Amino acid sequence: MALLSVGDRVPAFALSDDNGRVWTQADFAGRTVVLYFYPKDDTPGCTREACAFRDGLEAFEERGATVFGISADDIASHARFRDKYSLNHPLLSDPTHATCEAFGVWGTQRWRDQTYEGIARTTFVLRDGVVAVVFPDVDPTGHPERVLAVL
């Protein structure tokens, strides 16, 4: 499936977070949401990105935005990742990668000399359940600052 674009409605989903709470697209109604898709818990780039969102969370909240991370890792992995790095925003688990596919971020990836199926690091800014901004092919270094600039 193609990457969601500006103006697209958020597809239906129901995903559990690192605390076991189930979130659906309906929870995003009337809110500004930063939804960042990342490949894997506790890997260098993903840790850098998650910790930068953690450190900047107050600035996102001041702009009225709620931050969520999402990967295909399970809830237990998310909880370990959250605890290890004191992450302060929900991490949604998509082990079947159905939501990742619906957003268009799941597919063949290449890293170093390996090819695999996984998540392309992508961030969406959602306003009232509609895609407002898309950041494809994210470089995790300095990324939250780039997202804040569009809020």
Catalytic residue selected from 4, 10, 35, 46: 46
Among the listed residues 144, 119, 146, the one whose alpha carbon sits nearest the alpha carbon of residue 54: 144
Q: Are 100 and 72 in contact (CB under 8 A)?
A: yes
Q: Are 78 and 41 in contact (CB under 8 A)?
A: yes
Residue 51 known to be catalytic = no
DSSP class of 25:
G
Tell me the three state secondary structure of residue 126.
strand
**Catalytic residue list:** 46
